[in-house]
Amino acid sequence: MKTILITGGSRGIGKATCLKFLENNWRVLTTSTSGKLDYKNQNLQNYQLDLSNSESIKAFVSQVHSMPLDVLVNNAGISGGFSEKLLDPKILRKVLEVNLIGLADLTNRLIGNIKPEGRIINISSGMGAFSEDIMDGWMPSYRISKAALNMYSRTLAANLKSKDIEVCSYEPGWVKTDMGGKSAPREPSHPAEEIWNLVAHGFENGVFYGPTGKREW
């Protein structure tokens, strides 16, 4: 049985992706900041993890240190709120701590768990793409964090090539989640299916993907 770790599996895209892989008979490890989920499965294991806390990251890694992983999906993240217009350094520090620094710390500590021919998928956003037009400066901290995550994906892909581990960024589009809101046109099951396809059919190392395939950075 193959094993996948999906962070942030308590709701939204993370939950839908966990359910998708469970349906396909994968062993799924997931995390939530509370350590709680509202669903169960015999092949599901849940752990408490706060990506803003280095001690929480260390404690989590110590629990899974002996578990080989076929895939790591870095899904957990925060928006920093929707009222930010002019960049707020306090919000930027908080968002970077979760969306970039904690994510990178966790990933680096888990590289030894990932099997050869394994895959890492970092959940990014079109809001962090330089190729997108920015109509206003809405949510600058979130945008900056996802742009930085994309560069982390590219550098990690280059660094892990010798270990035969592939890395990509993936942006799910506008999805009905707590972050995306009820007006979003996509259901969480849509990106879950696309993440499944990236894992099942493979992807090009160091590339940025979206709902329709490869996209510009």
Task: State pLDDT tens for residues 24-63.
Answer: 999 999 999 999 999 999 999 999 999 999 999 999 999 9
Assess whether pLDDT exceeds 80 at residue 20: yes
Residue pLDDT, tens place only, 92-122: 999 999 999 999 999 999 999 999 999 999 9
Rounded CA separation 214/204 (Å): 9
Q: For residue 21, what is the domain's CATH number?
A: 3.40.50.720
Q: Which domain holds residue 133?
A: 3-214
Q: pTM of this prediction?
A: 0.96
- Report how many domains make up the chain: 1
